[in-house]
Amino acid sequence: MKVPFLDLRRQHAPIQDRLEDATLRVIRSGRYVLGPEVAAFESEFARYCGTRYAVALNSGTSALHLALLAAGVGRGDEVITTPLSFVATVSAIHYTGARAVFVDVDPRTYTLDPALLAVAITPRTRAIMPVHLYGRIADMSAIREVAGRLPVIEDACQAHGAALEGRRAGSLGDLGCFSFYPSKNLGACGEGGAVTTDDPERAETIRRLRDWGQSGKYRHVLKGFNYRMDELQAAVLRVKLERLDGWNAERREIARAYRRALEDLPLALPEDVDGHVYHLFAARAKGRDELRRALESAGVETGVHYPVPLHRVPAFAEFGYVEKRFPAAEAVADEEISLPLYPGLSAEEVDTVRRALEGIVAGVPR
Ligand SMILES: *Cc1c(COP(=O)(O)O)cnc(C)c1O
């Protein structure tokens, strides 16, 4: 039996008719960009996250970029984030002309370590961007306390529906950034993103920036972008948003099954905390690359998130980030292995992963 790393058809199968109805409705409507589906999705997603506003965009990267601009970040500024994330987190900072200042992750949570935050703040710091990595919310109350009046921007691209003390990701900072890339916990059938906020002025700034900085037709009051969401993606996301809590519950169930199945193996498993939505099941193992190859031969596909910490990305050489050491993030980059975890993954498949791992650990040739 082969266990694929991800199979979105399984997630879509039970709602196939509704997805097809929604897309046909859009195609027949004659409205394709920033229309009624986008407006409806924005209010439904804001309500879901517990914020006053959500502004729909064409990607998570665009969400990070516009949230930074709306927070006042620009040329010569510094933005604090972690070196353990997808490359987009830092690229969005660079788009504004600012540079990243990295703070290492807590080795237990894999999110920004608040104990290391205060010393990283300088007179140039303009914003703090924690990442809710793998579906676990960063230590937001400690981060906010150290941040003081500095805006805190959540990179919630892996944390749709994740919660901390009853409040959802996207409502825990000044601005929340989401990606709806197909593989995310809430994914479109294409690209998409959104910023959530309670601040009416920032919401309006982001609405203008996504559509060429216009305050009215051809009134370009800001230097803007084409970051608009299309109606097809909004219609799909409206159908899928109704299922998000159920899918996240299923992800937690699968994580529990893995934890029971793998507890005796020499793997470090992610901590189970309330509100975790397991975008990824990020385990750790010494000899990770060998283990991945052995699992692949046993029919189990895995992933790595991420093999190169962001301070060591070759494209960012000019910023000199590589001079600094971030031991916790570097260790994760060397040891992290993501096991298959997604809605529709069966108990038999979890058991196949367990048997494959047990065989490899016991040295049984396969
Ligand atoms: C996916 C992701 C992004 C970027 O989102 P896109 O929609 O692909 O642009 C940013 N940050 C994190 C942590 C992500 O996982």
Task: Say whether pLDDT at 46 is over 60.
Answer: yes
Cα separation of 290 and 287, whole Å? Answer: 6
Protein residue whose Cα sits closest to atom 14 of ligand 1: 157
Task: Say whether pLDDT at 366 is over 50.
Answer: no
Check residue 363 and give its pLDDT: 83
Cα separation of 50 and 272, whole Å? Answer: 24
Ligand 1 center to residue 61 CA distance, Å?
A: 6
Cα separation of 162 and 167, whole Å? Answer: 8
Confidence of residue 199 (pLDDT cuts 50, 70, 90): very high
Ligand 1 mutation pick, 158, 175, 225, 338, max ligand atoms within 8 A of CB: 158
Contact 346, 3 (CB under 8 A): no
Work out the percent of the chain whose per-residue pLDDT is above 70.
99
- Site of tokens 């935050």: 117
Nearest 5 degrees, angle CA 2-CA 289-CA 311? 125
Output the ligand 1 site: residues, CB below 6 A.
59-61, 85-86, 88-89, 131, 155, 157-158, 179, 181, 193
Ligand 1 center to residue 60 CA distance, Å?
A: 5
Protein residue whose Cα sits closest to atom 6 of ligand 1: 60
* pLDDT tens digits along 113-157: 999 999 999 999 999 999 999 999 999 999 999 999 999 999 999
Check residue 349 and give its pLDDT: 97
Task: Say whether pLDDT at 365 is over 60.
Answer: no
Cα separation of 280 and 339, whole Å? Answer: 8
Task: Say whether pLDDT at 104 is over 60.
Answer: yes
Contact 305, 5 (CB under 8 A): no
Confidence of residue 1 (pLDDT cuts 50, 70, 90): confident
Q: What is the mean pLDDT of residues 169-194?
A: 98
By residue count, the chain amounts to 366
